[in-house]
Amino acid sequence: MKMDNRFRNSIGRLPAFPATVHRVTALINNSDSSLAELVGVVRLDSAITANILRMCNSAYFGLRHRVDNVHDAIMYLGRQNVVRAVMAAGVSRFFKNTPGYETDATDLWEHAVGAALMSQLLARRILGREDAGLFTAALLHDIGKIILGEYIHEKREEFNRLLEGGGRSFLEVEDEVLGMNHAALGRTIAAAWNFPPDIQLTIAGHHRPDQLKECENPVPWIVHLADQACLMLGIGKGTDGLAYYGLACAVDRFHLSQKDLETVMADFVKEFENARELVGIVQPSQ
């Protein structure tokens, strides 16, 4: 999709993505890295440090000890949880009120965290394990909305008119009115922030994983299901609502029934309650 310069300019105006996040991820993936190195890198970013300390005492991370410093937080969290916590702490600062979707920063962030948690529940069931990369992809899947929302707001009446008939998905209307959709725009943002190609691809295909060339990778499909399960549970509250296609092939490819999906959704509530400190790091006034 050729991108209009106005979208490129909007991406260019975003604050720089915190280098700390990618440096921590690289250190985690390097088994020779030391705890001292990790602590040293995290401490360079005071906002991330503050958010990690706030989040790591949540029941979601299941720490037995209350921690009040970065060294102990990283020591007790474990490597994969450090990636999750640092990613959430770093990404959260970009979430803001998005007028076109009529959501505030909290709604959008709540949906991002919800999808990330849901992706882990689905991964446990489908892959038999959790996956920190999947967590990151799910956390970022709607990042395109932080920019596209402003453009939707300007064309609100046209959106309402096209959506009224009910025949088009919100994504299709975004393309029709703006020549861009939030999934494709999100992919470009992730590329500008130097996220790896598989995460970019997942963001691009989170509504239509069936249209991706690399259709065999389970990650975009799991993020698709996680996103939709959260929409069904009303986590997000945007004007786009549930106006996206549900793909029968998404559940079929993992041999899931509607009942299986319901069981995962039932497990989600406890997980979401346990993660309220993660949800709470973004405030509506931002």
Partner 1 sequence: MKLADMAVTNGNGDGLAVYGLGSTVAVILYDEATKVGGCLQFMLPDSKASLHRAREYPGMFADTGIALLLKSCLEAGAHRGSLTARLAGGADLMEKGPCYRIGEDNVKAAKKILSGLGVTVQAEATGGCVFRTVRLDTATGMMYLKRNPGGWEELR
Q: Which residues bind partner 1 (CB under 8 A)?
A: 102, 107, 156, 160, 166, 169, 228, 231-239, 241-249, 251, 258-259, 261-263, 265-267, 269-270, 272
Nearer to partner 1, 11 or 233 (CB): 233
Nearest C-alpha neighbor of 74 from the set 91, 60, 55? 55
Distance of alpha carbon 89 from alpha carbon 110, whole angstroms? 13
Min. distance of Cβ 256 from partner 1 in angstroms?
A: 9
Nearer to partner 1, 75 or 247 (CB): 247
Q: Which two tokens stand for residue 194?
A: 């130097």
Min. distance of Cβ 223 from partner 1 in angstroms?
A: 15
3-state secondary structure 122-144: HHHHHCCCCCHHHHHHHHHCCCC
Min. distance of Cβ 106 from partner 1 in angstroms?
A: 11
Nearer to partner 1, 214 or 262 (CB): 262
Nearer to partner 1, 6 or 156 (CB): 156
- DSSP conformational letter for 4: P
DSSP secondary structure string, 144-199? Answer: THHHHHHHHHHTHHHHHHHHHTS-S-HHHHHHHHHS--HHHHHHHHHHHTT--HHH
Nearer to partner 1, 33 or 169 (CB): 169
Min. distance of Cβ 272 from partner 1 in angstroms?
A: 8
Tokens 């991370």 -> residue: 61
Min. distance of Cβ 251 from partner 1 in angstroms?
A: 7
